[in-house]
Amino acid sequence: MEAVASRTPDAQTLPSEWGFSCDLEVDYESQEIASIVYSALDVDKELQPDKVKRQMSVSDGKLSVHFEGVEARFLRASFSAFVDILTLATKTVEEFGKGMEL
């Protein structure tokens, strides 16, 4: 997994309220597995959408997630919770997907 966090330097890039961002990319090396994990995680919406936004996409077997938050603490909490469920979804697919047609 690769994660990159940053403070948005240019206020014109994002509205002033979305001053913090973070990107996560997970390479599953399989479009099918990445799509399964995406589908499992997409149903869980942000609990505070006025404070944190999350955008996900799948391409070439990679799950990409972009977070934006109004404060670092909201971004950190959202990112941490997301990584927890991402880890669970990934382990579930790894454990129960072996030898099965997904």
pLDDT, one tens digit per residue, over 84-101 is 999 999 999 988 876 555
- What is the model's pLDDT at position 9? 46
- What is the model's pLDDT at position 63? 96
- What is the model's pLDDT at position 44? 87
With beta carbons less than 8 A apart as the criterion, state whether 16 and 65 touch. no
> What are the residue ranges in the chain where pLDDT is below 50?
2-12, 14, 102
- What is the model's pLDDT at position 54? 95
What's the rounded Cα separation, in Å, for the pair 22 and 77? 12
Where in the chain are the domains?
Answer: 2-96
- What is the model's pLDDT at position 96? 84
User: Residue 59: which of 101, 94, 30, 23 has the closest Cα?
Assistant: 30
Q: Hey, what CATH topology would domain 2-96 get? A: TATA-Binding Protein (3.30.310)
- Phi-psi label, residue 29: left if phi above 0, alpha if psi -120 to 50, beta otherwise: left
